[in-house]
């Protein structure tokens, strides 16, 4: 995706980008400190150029880093990891790009607690990253790539997917599917166990209810007999 097309921000988005409140933006707009643009319907919006200007950064002087991100599930796949690095290095060399950092990550694409991956996202939010290169979408994250791409775009970070299916191990996909099935099977087992517990509770409740009904009927019969005895006397 070309980030040059993603240049407009709603006030709330721009406030989050600057780490200020929307009210602060409104005050700056009134004070002419940071004047908002207006749509034909008079809605306020801001541009990325305004962000760079506010931060004192020129487009040509964008010093944010370019990062290569590679990932495999286990250390037994180290060869595949290096293949990803070599493939992406060849790509950036052909494009004349200078890479500032190469990240070699280990862990499942379903694991959102990967330390290096989270550190990278943290740097995205700190506006330290300009571009992230991956060999395949699932190297970055197994599911939800589009959401994370939009998230990075909000910070004007481009994710370049240099698609190479050979570098997306089939075995990993199988492992991830097995992991998902395992999670759902555990939940299904838990639901069955919970259902049995509920059925047991219902049986106990029914027993108590039946016993209370029997006691109530017996009490009524006793009271009736007592009244009948008093009348006879």
Write down the domain spans for the chain: 3-59, 64-168, 169-233
Among 16-20, 32-36, 164-168, 218-222, top mean pLDDT goes to: 32-36
Per-residue pLDDT tens for 108-150?
888 889 999 999 999 999 889 999 999 999 899 988 899 999 9
What is the set of active-site residues?
73
Contact criterion met (CB below 8 Å) for 55 and 48? no
Whether pTM exceeds 0.85: no
Q: Is the pLDDT of residue 13 over 60?
A: yes
Instruction: Note the CATH number of domain 3-59.
Output: 1.10.1660.10
What confidence category does residue 213 fall into, taking pLDDT thresholds of 50, 70 and 90?
low
pLDDT of residue 121: 95
Q: Is the pLDDT of residue 192 over 70?
A: no
pLDDT of residue 203: 59
Distances (CA, A) of 97 to 4, 10, 86, 92, 147: 17, 31, 14, 5, 26
Q: Which fold has domain 64-168?
A: Rossmann fold (3.40.50)
According to DSSP, the β-strands at 129-134 and 101-106 are unpaired
Cα angle 98, 104, 106 (rounded to 5 degrees) comes to 160
Contact criterion met (CB below 8 Å) for 133 and 98? no
Q: How far is 115 from 119, CA to CA, in rounded Å? A: 6
């Amino acid at each position: 995706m070309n980030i040059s097309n993603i240049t407009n921000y709603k006030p709330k988005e721009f406030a989050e980008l600057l780490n200020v409140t929307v009210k602060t933006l409104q005050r700056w707009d009134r004070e002419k400190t940071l004047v908002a643009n207006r749509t034909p319907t008079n809605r306020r919006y801001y541009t990325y150029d305004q962000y760079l200007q506010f931060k004192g950064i020129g487009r040509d002087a964008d010093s944010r880093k370019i990062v290569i991100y590679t990932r495999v599930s286990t250390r037994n796949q180290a060869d595949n990891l290096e293949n990803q690095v070599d493939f992406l290095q060849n790509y950036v060399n052909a494009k004349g790009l200078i890479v500032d950092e190469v990240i070699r990550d280990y862990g499942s694409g379903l694991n959102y607690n990967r330390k290096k991956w989270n550190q990278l996202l943290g740097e995205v939010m700190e506006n330290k990253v300009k571009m992230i290169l991956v060999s395949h979408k699932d190297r970055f994250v197994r599911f939800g790539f589009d959401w994370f791409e939009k998230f990075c775009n909000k910070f004007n970070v481009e994710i370049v997917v240099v698609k190479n299916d050979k570098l997306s191990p089939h075995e990993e996909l199988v492992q991830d599917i097995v992991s998902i099935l395992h999670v759902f099977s555990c939940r299904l087992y838990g639901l069955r166990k919970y259902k049995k517990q509920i059925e047991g509770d219902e049986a106990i409740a029914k027993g108590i209810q039946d016993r209370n009904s029997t006691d109530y009927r017996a009490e009524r019969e006793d009271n009736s007999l007592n009244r009948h005895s008093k009348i006879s006397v």
